Structure 1
């Protein structure tokens, strides 16, 4: 029966993936996170309950790097969920270094012939229960302990990032998004469940590798050396995580809106409103286009902190709908569109003679650019020449 838990979670992951085509792209990281979580549980189940040397050989050590992806995927999800940038920066790839390091560290074992690996795995799991192997840099015991500490640290880090972003949003916009509370409940619940699972796993691994504490009793040792207890907490925790996702339908379907919710809303109504429906794109796109044209008359893009979230607040249109409009109708991302209209506005200023009164840096500031260098790079990319060259060309 225990195998149903991770299989249900894998099914949930594919539901998230299914709705990625036109909805919240950050759910890609949530889907990968759920998939990795449940694969980890499935591997543990196959390793300790099948009693099959073939499955023991497959599951033993090979998937250890996967455990070091859980934390980064959780953080990537939180980061992309609360910002209007659903793409990772190069700096974000540094979070994957531990997984790569463990992959390289385990090569002396993973490159052995399969029969030999299966024999070693069976010996350790069912006979000696001594988790000692020859690796390159760090011991097997250290990996088993550090992978849980790694996830605990990312749970805390993700919550800190979420709260810092909320404070920053309130300071910049003067208010929080109307979807803040549902996101807060979901992210706190998600990180809380992972914290419990990883803490239990940490105590289990510390006991298994023989690290004892002064407060440790016979009952404590019996509980945390028990595979049944470990799998009950880990498998049950991941199952609850999968189950709770269905209680947050707007998260499940990536349809978190900035529009205020009806006070009489029920779970059934939330499911009904959250499930993506076929709609007449032409009518909605025309409405957005009309509102956008009026909105641009106020020159909101000239502010340095102008973002998709700001536009969503001002127009009372969800970020999801705006992102879909930019990607499908205009054919570019919001960031590309913002840069384009800023350059267009800068050209208007130059054509109006502003370049005779103020410097290029002042024009870049008036157009909303954070720095002169970024303005010059964007201008050259769009126009083909530098701002100085353009000014000279219109003065001839």
Structure 2
């Protein structure tokens, strides 16, 4: 599902690039009439889908549900806003697009019932900037928690991509605001190329950045020192294995037995314990463990680790550990670096805080 969000994001970015080129650069009046205003709502979806992608791969929230649909309100609002233009005749759109191509101020002849063109043009970039900030905060938190220790390529690409996205939208905000105040509170789209060139270069960088990270683009499993052909061969083997149910079942049963023995050592209680540690300790490829947790057990590695740690914490509380030590020390004994993380994980699994649970035991 996460990869679908990323695909939607790039499709929408491509649509924006095409519409931008059609509206401003192209001499084809039909393309300009088709792209000029109709693409407005779709611009408001590209960064939300990037945010959903980052959230899906770095947190427990994998799918869009419930309150998440509120993220689509700006899109719906702008769809309603451009309906008067959409219902105009094709001849009207051709004529208007030619006028706007000659003088961008002509766009203010279009009736927008809910949101003015200037407001939309500036705040679409503000909204996108906010989503990129939220995605960056999720990434920063994941890095602090050590979730990306075994996914350095993904970490580097996300850092590069989010930084470029923030710069891109900041440049659009600066360009739009400057244009608004120096042109009698109107945004002029063709200011002799100023602003647009910078934004276009950064957009190009965004679009091509992922091609420098094939493991993210194609989901490849790779190790340092491997050639691209070795990586592709390995992933073809993984794909073949995943289609063979009997082989998968045998391999997954082996992994389960390995984990049963491994759990006796309780290394999951070590602070900072990550998937990379498990890969190394039981000599099992990460893609096998990921498939085991996500597809066979129906649980993420992070949730599996937290369940084991909270089970240990419950045992310590029942054994009277909290009578001689603080709840904070119990949390640290179970691998949590801070009291708040321990309480949050405990409540997520048991439905109540450690202190409430402890009271019930007394």
Q: TM-score range by the shorter chain?
A: 0.5 to 0.7
Match of 1:81 among 47, 50, 57: 57
Match of 2:351 among 371, 378, 387: 371
Pair 1:128–1:196, CA change in 2 (3 A):
closer
Other-structure match for 2:149: 178
Greater RCO, 1 or 2 (C-alpha within 8 Å, sep 6+): 1
Pair 1:271–1:145, CA change in 2 (3 A):
farther
Matches within 5 A, 1:1-396: 25-83=1-59, 85-127=61-103, 129-132=105-108, 133-167=110-144, 170=145, 175-211=146-182, 225-227=191-193, 230=196, 232-255=197-220, 261-262=223-224, 265=225, 269=227, 272-273=230-231, 276-279=235-238, 281=241, 282-283=246-247, 285-296=249-260, 314=278, 320-322=287-289, 324-325=291-292, 330=296, 333-334=298-299, 369-371=349-351
Q: State how far apart, in whole Å, the 2-side matches of 1:273 and 1:235 are.
A: 33
Give the secondary structure class of the aligned counterpart of 1:136. Answer: coil
TM-score normalised by L of structure 2:
0.67
Whether contact under 8 Å (2:149, 2:274) holds in the other structure is no
Q: State how far apart, in whole Å, the 2-side matches of 1:224 and 1:192 are.
A: 26
Whether contact under 8 Å (2:104, 2:190) holds in the other structure is no
Structure 2 segments unaligned to the other structure (5+ residues): 308-344, 353-362
Pair 1:212–1:50, CA change in 2 (3 A):
closer
Total equivalences in the alignment: 293
Pair 1:119–1:318, CA change in 2 (3 A):
farther
TM-score normalised by L of structure 1:
0.62
More helix by share: 2
Superposition deviation, residue 62 in structure 1? 0.7
What is the Cα-based RMSD across aligned positions, in Å?
3.8
Q: Deviations over 1:247-272 (max 9, x none)?
A: 21111112357xxx43xx36xx2574
Q: Deviations over 1:270-326 (max 9, x none)?
A: 5742673134525454233212144257789xxxx9xxx967753555665445457
Q: State how far apart, in whole Å, the 2-side matches of 1:84 and 1:284 are.
A: 25
Other-structure match for 1:390: none
Superposition deviation, residue 72 in structure 1? 0.3
Superposition deviation, residue 97 in structure 1? 1.5
Whether contact under 8 Å (1:207, 1:225) holds in the other structure is no
Q: Deviations over 1:48-94 (max 9, x none)?
A: 12223211210111110111012201101111122355323322222
Q: State how far apart, in whole Å, the 2-side matches of 1:128 and 1:88 are.
A: 38
